[in-house]
């Protein structure tokens, strides 16, 4: 698909879809609220990605910095069910 407008910001794409500017392919966490209250409608579900993931990549060190561990724990909680494995 080609169009006159594009963005790489989830919130901007949600806003554009809410304003009727076109279709947007976004992760559930951006649109769940709007799908639930009917402001957005899911279309083309047969083309939906089913195998997505979040990867945390960092240099292996003997001691993991506490802030890195906290960030990994945050991601695991935020994307529960969508994170296959974390170290």
| Domain ranges, ordered by start, for the chain | 10-47, 53-87
Contacts of 77 (CB under 8 A, 6+ apart): none
Residue pLDDT, tens place only, 16-74: 999 998 889 888 899 999 999 999 999 988 887 766 666 778 777 788 889 988 998 88
Regarding pTM above 0.85, the answer is no
Q: How confident is the model at residue 87 (pLDDT cuts 50, 70, 90)?
A: very low
Residue pLDDT, tens place only, 60-77: 778 888 998 899 888 888
Contacts of 70 (CB under 8 A, 6+ apart): none
* Model pLDDT, residue 77: 84
């Amino acid at each position: 698909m080609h169009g006159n407008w594009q963005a790489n910001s989830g919130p901007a794409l949600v806003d554009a879809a809410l304003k009727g500017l076109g279709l947007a392919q976004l992760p559930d966490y951006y649109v769940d609220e709007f799908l639930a209250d009917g402001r957005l409608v899911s279309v083309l579900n047969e083309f939906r990605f089913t195998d997505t993931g979040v990867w945390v990549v960092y240099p292996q060190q003997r001691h993991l910095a506490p802030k890195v561990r906290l960030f990994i724990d945050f991601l695991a909680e935020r994307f529960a069910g969508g994170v296959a494995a974390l170290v």
